[in-house]
Amino acid sequence: MSAFGLYRMIMNVANVAKELETAGMRIEIGDDFAAYRLLRNAQQDRAPIYPMFDVASSYVDKSNAFWICGFNEQDELVHTQAMRLLDLTGITLGQHLNTHRHKYITPNSTPDPDRTFYRRPLALQKITGKVVYHGDFWIKPGDNGNRKQGFSPLLSRIAIEIALATWVPNYSFAFVPTPLATKGMPLRYGYTHCEPGSWYGPDEQVTDEDCIIWMNTKDMVHLLKTPAQALSDEREIPTMRSTVQPLSVVA
């Protein structure tokens, strides 16, 4: 990344983080997944951390992932999300999910994870190369009245901004429960493509329904060029898009 590219990313993330902090959520970004596991395991009212981001189950560290946590004014954890880079060179996302499905299946959703597979979306055969998995997205219910309308787009935007600048992936994808997808959650996350899919168990029964949402590199770039909507009013959060102009040198 160029020096200006790094500066632009820092300023864009800082502007969004400042907006969130003004609204009562302090953001922390890290890549120590042992620390992330401790934070997640302390949440007794949530499902356990998924294997994709659990150092006890996967090789996940600063070389291939980062996490974002949000804390309220009482320093209570009220938001999590994480990004993980996958090398799918020469294979499709569908092939990857067939092999590593145990890391994506919702716990206790199927009688036999060994014989449960995700099917239907055409994107499974399209997505390949450097791919980012966007997961563990959660905001504490009821913590703020604006959380559904305003917080989600800003929080997702921070993750996409960092992932694009750090890895320049070919694709980013996530799973969203179908009921949430039909209510427009993919658009709030900033994702431009959404395809319905299902997890099929050993007797071809549907054990869970998740839409796959995804973006390619151009989609991510376009999203980040569009100014984000502020939480407090109708203004837009500043986004740095111009290039550095040469300085005039006085002899």
Phi, psi dihedrals of residue 194, rounded to the nearest 5°: -145, 125
Q: Show the domains of the chain with their CATH numbers.
A: 3-230 (3.40.630.30)
pLDDT at residue 241 is higher than 80: no
Q: pTM for the full model?
A: 0.90
What is the distance between the alpha carbons of residues 12 and 24, in angstroms, rounded to a whole number?
A: 19
pLDDT tens sequence across 216-236: 999 999 999 988 888 876 677
What's the CA gap between 119 and 209, in Å, rounded?
10
**Cβ neighbour number for residue 132 with a 10 Å cutoff:** 26
Please classify residue 25 by burial: count the beta carbons closer than 10 Å to its beta carbon, then call 0-12 exposed, 13-18 middle and 19+ buried: buried
pLDDT digits (tens, 9 = 90+) for 121-144: 999 999 999 999 999 999 998 755
Indicate the pLDDT class of residue 29, thresholds 50, 70 and 90. Answer: very high
